[in-house]
Amino acid sequence: MKFSKKKSKKSEILLEEVDGEQQSLLIFDDSVSAPRPRIISLYNDIKDETAEDVILSFMLMKEIDKEAIYENENDPESEIIGFYHKPIDFLISSWGGEALNMFAIYDTMRMVRDECEIHTLGMGKVMSAGVLLLAAGTKGKRRIGANCRIMLHSVIGGQQGSLHNLENEMAETRWLQQQHIEALVAETSITSKQLKRLLNKKVNIYLNAKEAVKYGIADEIV
C-alpha cells in the first residue's frame, strides 16, 4: 500500500494506491481560516475492509495536525518538550459486525487515545460490536443522538464440523465473550455481574439514549 500527496490551490489530498489505482482517502483544507477535518465515520458492518479503513484513519490522524509544545511558549526556538494532538471525532452508526475486527479497532482506539482525545458520537443505531467502540471514546466526550438505539447481545458462534472441532470453537467463542464483557466493564459503568445477567437472557437487549448514559456507554445526549 503506497501513499502520496496531491496539492491543489486550497487543498491537499492524501491518495491511497490500491492495485495500481489511486483512491482519495482524506481531504485537507490548507487555508488558514478552515481547520482540517478530523472525522472518522463508521457507517457499515464491522468487517475486514471496514476495520482496515477505520484503523488506518486513526493511525494517520494521530500523526498529523500535531502542535509542538515548547519549553518556553513565547520562544519557538526553545526546546520542544511534547506535542498537542487535536481531537478526533468518531461517528458511529452501525449494525455491528465481527468480534475480532471490533477488537482490532478497539485496541487501536486505546493506543491512540493515550495521545489524542477521541470524541465518539452514536447516531441512529449503535448495535452489537458498535457499542464497545462508542464507549471506548475519551471519557466525558462520548455523545449519543436522542433517538439512537443501542443493542447488546452475546457473542454469536456458527460452528460446524466434528465434535472435537465444535468443542474447540466453543472454547474460542467463550473466550471472545469474556473479553467482550471485560472490555465493556472497563469502558462503562456496567458491572460484570449486571452485564452477565443481561447477556444470559439470550435475547437482544435494546437501550435508549437515556439508558446508554445511565450505563456509562455515553456521557451526553445530543
Q: Both 12 and 76 in a single domain? A: no
Share of the chain above pLDDT 90, in %: 55
Q: What is the DSSP string of 87-106?
A: PEEEEEEE--B-HHHHHHHH
pLDDT at res. 100: 94
- Whole-model pTM: value is 0.77
Residues with Cβ within 8 Å of residue 58, at least 6 apart in sequence: 40, 88, 105, 108, 109, 112
- What's the CATH number where 137 sits? 3.90.226.10
Same-domain check for residues 64 and 29:
no
Q: What is the pLDDT of residue 64?
A: 84
Is the domain of 17 the same as that of 77?
Answer: no
Same domain as 150, residue 84? yes
Vertex 53 angle, CA 49 and 59, to 5°: 140
Considering the domain architecture, whether residues 24 and 53 belong to the same structural domain is answered as no
Is the pLDDT at 57 greater than 90? The verdict is yes
Do 91 and 141 lie in one domain? The reply is yes
Q: Which domain holds residue 73?
A: 38-221
Tell me how far CA of residue 178 lies from CA of 108, 150, 174, 198, in angstroms. 19, 20, 6, 14
Same domain, 10 and 62: no
* Per-residue pLDDT at 156 exceeds 90: no
Determine whether 11 is exposed, middle or buried from the number of CB atoms within 10 Å of its CB (0-12, 13-18, 19+). Answer: middle
Residues 176 and 204 in one domain: yes
Confidence of residue 67 (pLDDT cuts 50, 70, 90): confident
- Domain count for the chain: 2
CA distances from 96 to 65, 91, 92, 131, 180 (A): 30, 14, 10, 8, 13
Q: Given a cut of 80, is residue 35 above it in pLDDT?
A: no
One domain for residues 80 and 116: yes
Q: Which amino acid is at 81?
A: I
What pLDDT, on a 0 to 100 scale, did the predictor assign at position 170?
Answer: 81
Helix (H, G, I), strand (E, B) or coil at 68: strand
Helices of type H across the chain: 48-63, 99-112, 129-135, 163-187, 192-199, 209-214
